[in-house]
Amino acid sequence: MNTLSGKNMFLWVVVIFFAVIAVLFYLTKGIKIQERGLAQSVSPLPSESPVQPPVQYNAVKVQEDNGNHSTVQYEHGSFTPAEITVKNETGCFVEIDNASDQEVIPRLGPYDSKQEKGFLYSSIAAHKNGLIDPRYGNVTQFSFYNKNNSRATFTAHIDPTCF
């Protein structure tokens, strides 16, 4: 009888061993399916560059411009006025009047030589005007600079009625 119970014990150990292996196989198969689903829903970043380059957006163009905006003038290497308030009554847009002989490329500040933040607004040719939409989330104050002259800056205070 001792040898029979020893055989039964051995059989139970073998059955439990295979049962544990089957459970582990089933669990790892479920994890792999979940990982595959996540991999399909999240696209990996390219290996060459850990940070995606910003998407280029054009400056917002207004079809019927009836002078309904806040204006900043670029001349002699600086923006005037240095601070403006953008309100809903002015369409929540900023007009940049480039009165200089050089192209102006508006960028969201503060200036950082390693990266450009926010929307990449279209350049404004010499002696031309351009409209930009300064609203970016629910932030009520932004600094802008000219990419060709990073010392030239202006600040736009966005009235909450623009959101």
- Which residues, other chains included, contact 39 with Cβ-Cβ below 8 Å and sequence gap of 6+? none
- Which region holds residue 76: left if phi is over 0, alpha if psi is between -120 and 50, else beta? left
Residue entry with tokens 């009836």: 66
Q: Which residue has the higher pLDDT, 95 or 28?
A: 95
Residue 41: the pLDDT is: 44
Residues 90, 153: one domain? yes
The structural domain count of the chain equals 2
Residues 7, 83: one domain? no
Mean pLDDT of the chain: 75
Residue 49: the pLDDT is: 41
Among 32-46, 114-128, 134-148, the range scoring the smallest mean pLDDT is: 32-46
Residues 31, 90: one domain? no
Sign of the torsion angle spanned by Cα atoms 30, 35, 38, 39: negative
Residue 27 belongs to some domain of the structure: yes
Domain that holds residue 30: 1-44
Residues 78, 13: one domain? no
Residues 91, 157: one domain? yes
Residue 8 belongs to some domain of the structure: yes
Residues 35, 91: one domain? no
Candidates 142, 98, 140; CA nearest to 119 is: 142
Global pTM value: 0.56
Residue 121 belongs to some domain of the structure: yes
Residue 62 belongs to some domain of the structure: no
Find the mean pLDDT for residues 121-129. Answer: 92
What is the rounded distance in angstroms from the CA atom of residue 15 to the CA atom of residue 73? 84
Residues 93, 151: one domain? yes
Residues in the chain: 163
- Exposure pattern of 110-133 as b/e (b: 16+ CB <10 Å)? ebeeeebeebbbbbbeeeeebbbb
Residue 3: the pLDDT is: 57
Best mean pLDDT range from 78-87, 118-127, 131-140 = 78-87
**Residue 29 CB-density burial (10 A; 0-12 exposed, 13-18 middle, 19+ buried):** exposed
pLDDT tens-digit readout, 1-33: 555 677 788 888 888 888 888 877 777 766 555
Residue 132: the pLDDT is: 85
